[in-house]
Every structure is written in structure tokens, then in C-alpha cells.
């Protein structure tokens, strides 16, 4: 990160031929630095044990997500045929083959960015949409398994705008130099 900012700062001060380029390069540096200070997304793994016999879907709600649950990847029961419906603070998952008593549900999900410690709030197992067992907090394990660097949408859009504007100014500058 420091090397990138150093190179952009050098470009600003020594290479940029016109003041517009210097302004564009400084704005790029500021936007890049601001974007890199944003929190990373965290990847979680959730394991829920003690499924009741016959369950073919699960409903989960978490706290601390800021409404940013995404990237839900089912692991078990077999991910093939699972349908995931995201409800911002959790999800509903349905699968074609009913569980046996004591089976485990496992999934990975991403929270962008987590606002507080992500924790289980509520959930239940269902059979064809009918609640057959509430999930006990003791049956849940949530682990952070990684971080994913993110760039906020505003920073990405602003950075693209600065690069496009810099390109336009550069083309106009080169055109004016050639015609002289």
C-alpha cells in the first residue's frame, strides 16, 4: 500500500506535465488511501448440529451484520440442489433430501463489513415450510475463517471517474502539443 501511494505521489510531483494531471493524481491518491482504510469483509463458517429427522430447510438470523450477509455457500447437507434465499441478516436454505436425526448443517458466508461481532440470533429447522424444531444456541458454532479486501462502491466509482477525466485531459494535452 505504501509503495503504491509513493509511486502515485512521485507521479504527481515529477512526471505529471500539467496541473490538471497533478490534481487528478492527488485525487486518485486520496481516494485510494480512503478506500484502503475501509473495513474488510469477513468470511465465516457456521456449523449447526442436531438436525431433526426429516428437516429439508433451515431459517437463520444473525446480529452484528449490518444487513450485509452475502456470499452464502452451502457445504452440508449436500450443496447440490440447495436453494438459498438471502434476507440481509441471515438466510433460508432448502434442500431436496431430508436430514436424518443428528445431521449437521454447514455453510460459509461473508459479512461486508461487519458492524459488530456477528452472532446467532434465531433460527429453526422446517419440514416443507413447517417449523419442526428451534435451533438451540448450544448447537451453533460460528468461526471467522478469513478476510476479503473490499473497496467501497463510492471509491471505485470516484477512482474510475478520476482516471477517465485524466485520460481526457491527457488526450487534449497531447493534441494541443502536436498541433503547435
- Predicted confidence (pLDDT) per residue in 96-137, tens digit: 989 999 999 999 998 876 667 889 999 999 999 899 999 999
Q: Based on the fold, state whether residues 28 and 103 are members of the same structural domain.
A: no
Q: Which three cell numbers stand for residue 146?
A: 478469513
Distance CA 147, CA 175 (A): 46
The DSSP letter of residue 139 is: G
Residue bearing the bigger pLDDT, 93 or 18: 93
Q: Based on the fold, state whether residues 107 and 49 are members of the same structural domain.
A: yes
Q: What is the pTM of this model?
A: 0.63
Q: Based on the fold, state whether residues 124 and 97 are members of the same structural domain.
A: yes
Structural domain count, the chain: 2
How many C-beta neighbours within 10 Å does residue 137 have?
Answer: 11
Question: How far lies 178's CA from each of 44, 128, 174, 175, in Å?
Answer: 56, 73, 6, 5
pLDDT at 35: 55
Residue bearing the bigger pLDDT, 26 or 82: 82
The winner for highest mean pLDDT among 8-17, 34-43, 77-86 is 77-86
Domain range holding 82?
A: 41-148
Amino acid at each position: 500500500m505504501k509503495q503504491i501511494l509513493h509511486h502515485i505521489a512521485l507521479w504527481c510531483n515529477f512526471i505529471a506535465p500539467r496541473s490538471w494531471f497533478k490534481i487528478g493524481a492527488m485525487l486518485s491518491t486520496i481516494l485510494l488511501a480512503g478506500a484502503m482504510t475501509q473495513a474488510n469483509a469477513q468470511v465465516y463458517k457456521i456449523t449447526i448440529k442436531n438436525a431433526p429427522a426429516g428437516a429439508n430447510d433451515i431459517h437463520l438470523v444473525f446480529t452484528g451484520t449490518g444487513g450485509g450477509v452475502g456470499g452464502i455457500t452451502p457445504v452440508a447437507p449436500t450443496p447440490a440442489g440447495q436453494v438459498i434465499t438471502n434476507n440481509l441478516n441471515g438466510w433460508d436454505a432448502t434442500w431436496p433430501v431430508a436430514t436424518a436425526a443428528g445431521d449437521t448443517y454447514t455453510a460459509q458466508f461473508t459479512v461486508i463489513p461487519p458492524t459488530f461481532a456477528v452472532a446467532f440470533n434465531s433460527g429453526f429447522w422446517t419440514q416443507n415450510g413447517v417449523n419442526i424444531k428451534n435451533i438451540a444456541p448450544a448447537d451453533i458454532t460460528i468461526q471467522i475463517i478469513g478476510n476479503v479486501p473490499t473497496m467501497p462502491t463510492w471509491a471505485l466509482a470516484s477512482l474510475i471517474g478520476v482516471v477517465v477525466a485524466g485520460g481526457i485531459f491527457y488526450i487534449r494535452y497531447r493534441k494541443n502539443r502536436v498541433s503547435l
